[in-house]
């Protein structure tokens, strides 16, 4: 039985519809700061302290009043990092080290290379600018300020910033549980022999790694055979275990594509034809309480649809605030005279001198293209361009984390 062709939906509309289905998961966990990388902060983190907590020296040298720099100054104290200095009187200098608190009364640190000692007294040999080499109390973070807003995805830098504000623990949102399975009777697992007609299952590895990179807990249900009963059973199992069911393959409308009738029988399904290349077929539905997302089977289609649709979906589910990857305008290093009528995500490499270079084979089955690439060229539907034209480049660094 053939169906009328579905009209193509623009990616932005598909994404908006998909995100409209998401209510961020309830529930938070409080964990040791070091255990929270990749998680999403549940509440604003306010610093109880100024950072730095006191004016301190950016150099090994001598603390003094800039106004005294022309005179010979007795060195009246020695201030290593971690010690508490005595006030500095006019006409005195203090030996000071990087990170040590600047004594009250001093306004400037002169680096040791710009000084000499004459009979135990300090002489400054270079012009001094008042305030030089002093890191001011609170110049990084003010007490009472929000250092990390709720919805921040915690990475190496944000964890350091949380620690600098003294946070030993952070409250983060719950990890989504995502059940994944691949469909396709042609799939065998790496490590097994490859009989005629078979291919190795790559999507299972790509999707699992993508999910883990997004802080999800993966329930890996393996390969489900191409028949209705097995697909329905897998969906029920997945729905009982997870917040989201993610599948690859079987969402086209061929006779061997059983996901559609299976999801329809177990819940509800929208099949979308999205105007992107690669990755046109995409399915969203519900099975019980779980979200269902069906990705196309071709490895690059599956990767690209995950990155442009599923990634923002899973980030919103975790309460993250920045959902869209940043794109940059970069000159193309090649001509693109015959654009597709769908929006294209071309696998390109960033060459410092010649702009973006194109991988020769842009087939949706050629995963080598994505391995070779540094990111995706996001080309509007129907847009031809010539070399030198500034196009939108989304680095994998933005997408794969
Ligand atoms: P389908 O979407 O099921 O029609 O599959 C489209 C293409 O992707 C077919 O060539 C499949 O063999 C291939 N494919 C489907 N699933 C996977 C997978 N998990 N790993 C690698 N290739 C796959
Ligand atoms: Mg299939």
Ligand nearest to the CA of 223: 1
Q: Which atom of ligand 1 is nearest to the CA of 251?
A: 2
Buried b (16+ CB within 10 A) or exposed e, 180-218: bbbbbeebbeeeeeeeeeeeebbbbebbbebbeebbbeb
C-alpha 289 – ligand 2 centre gap (Å): 26
Residue 306 to residue 177: CA distance in whole angstroms: 16
Instruction: Write down the pLDDT at residue 256.
Output: 77
Residue ranges for the chain with pLDDT beneath 70: 1-5
C-alpha 258 – ligand 1 centre gap (Å): 13
For 137-184, write each residue's pLDDT tens digit: 999 999 999 999 999 999 999 999 999 999 999 999 999 999 999 999
Count the helix, strand and coil residues of the chain and give each as a percent rounded to the nearest 5.
Answer: 20, 35, 45
Q: Which residues line ligand 1 (CB under 6 A)?
A: 182, 184, 186-187, 199, 201-204, 248-250, 252, 296-299
Residue 299 to residue 311: CA distance in whole angstroms: 16
Instruction: Write down the pLDDT at residue 257.
Output: 83
Instruction: Write down the pLDDT at residue 2.
Output: 47
Cα dist from 238 to 18, 30, 214, 247, 272, whole Å: 20, 27, 19, 10, 22
For 177-187, write each residue's pLDDT tens digit: 999 999 999 99
Query: Which residue has the least CA distance to atom 5 on ligand 1?
Result: 297
Instruction: Write down the pLDDT at residue 3.
Output: 52
Residue 188 to residue 206: CA distance in whole angstroms: 15
CA pseudo-torsion sign 231, 233, 236, 241: negative
Q: Which atom of ligand 1 is nearest to the CA of 202?
A: 20
Beta strands in 112-234, from DSSP E residues, in sequence order = 115-118, 121-124, 134-135, 146-148, 169-173, 177-183, 187-188, 199-200, 217-224
Backbone angles phi, psi at 306, to 5 degrees: -60, -50
Instruction: Write down the pLDDT at residue 338.
Output: 97
Instruction: Write down the pLDDT at residue 352.
Output: 86
For 331-376, write each residue's pLDDT tens digit: 999 999 999 999 999 999 999 888 999 999 999 999 999 999 999 9
Instruction: Write down the pLDDT at residue 254.
Output: 76
CA pseudo-torsion sign 214, 219, 224, 228: negative
C-alpha 276 – ligand 2 centre gap (Å): 20
The secondary structure element, H or E, covering residue 15 is helix 11-20
Instruction: Write down the pLDDT at residue 278.
Output: 96
Q: Which atom of ligand 1 is nearest to the CA of 182?
A: 19
């Amino acid at each position: 039985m053939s169906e009328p062709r579905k009209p193509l939906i623009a990616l932005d509309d598909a994404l908006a519809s998909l995100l409209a289905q998401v209510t961020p998961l309830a529930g938070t966990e409080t964990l040791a700061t070091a255990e929270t990388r990749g998680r999403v902060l549940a509440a604003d983190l306010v610093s109880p302290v100024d950072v730095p907590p006191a004016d301190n020296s950016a150099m090994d040298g001598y603390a003094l009043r800039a106004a005294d720099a022309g005179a010979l100054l007795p060195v009246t104290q020695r201030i290593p990092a971690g010690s508490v200095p005595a006030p500095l009187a006019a006409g005195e200098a203090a030996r000071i080290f990087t990170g040590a608190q600047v004594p009250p009364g001093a306004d400037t640190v002169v680096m040791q290379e710009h000084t000499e000692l004459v009979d135990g007294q300090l002489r400054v040999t270079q012009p001094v600018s008042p305030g030089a080499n002093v890191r001011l109390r609170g110049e990084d973070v003010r007490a009472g300020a929000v250092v990390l807003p709720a919805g921040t995805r915690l990475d190496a830098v944000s964890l350091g910033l949380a620690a600098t504000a003294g946070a030993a623990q952070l409250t983060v949102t719950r990890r989504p549980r995502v059940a994944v399975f691949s469909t396709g009777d042609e799939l065998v697992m790496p490590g097994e022999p490859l009989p005629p007609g078979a291919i190795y299952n790559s999507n299972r590895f790509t999707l699992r790694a993508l999910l883990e990179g997004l802080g999800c807990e993966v329930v890996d249900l393996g390969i489900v055979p191409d028949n209705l009963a097995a697909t329905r059973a897998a969906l029920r199992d997945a729905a009982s275990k997870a917040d989201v069911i993610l599948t690859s393959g079987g969402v086209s409308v061929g006779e061997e594509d059983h996901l559609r009738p299976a999801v329809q029988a177990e819940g509800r399904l929208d099949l979308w034809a999205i105007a992107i290349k690669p990755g046109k077929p995409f399915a969203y539905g519900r099975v019980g309480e779980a979200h269902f997302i069906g990705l196309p089977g071709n490895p690059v289609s599956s990767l690209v649809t995950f990155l442009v649709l599923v990634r923002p979906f899973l980030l919103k589910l975790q309460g993250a605030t920045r959902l869209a990857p940043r794109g940059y305008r970069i000159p193309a290093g090649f001509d693109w005279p015959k654009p597709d009528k769908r929006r294209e995500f071309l696998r390109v490499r960033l060459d410092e001198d010649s702009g973006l270079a194109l991988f020769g084979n842009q087939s949706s089955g050629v995963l080598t293209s994505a391995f070779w690439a540094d990111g995706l060229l996001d080309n509007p539907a129907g847009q031809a361009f010539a070399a030198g034209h500034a196009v939108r480049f989304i680095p994998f660094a933005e997408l794969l984390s």
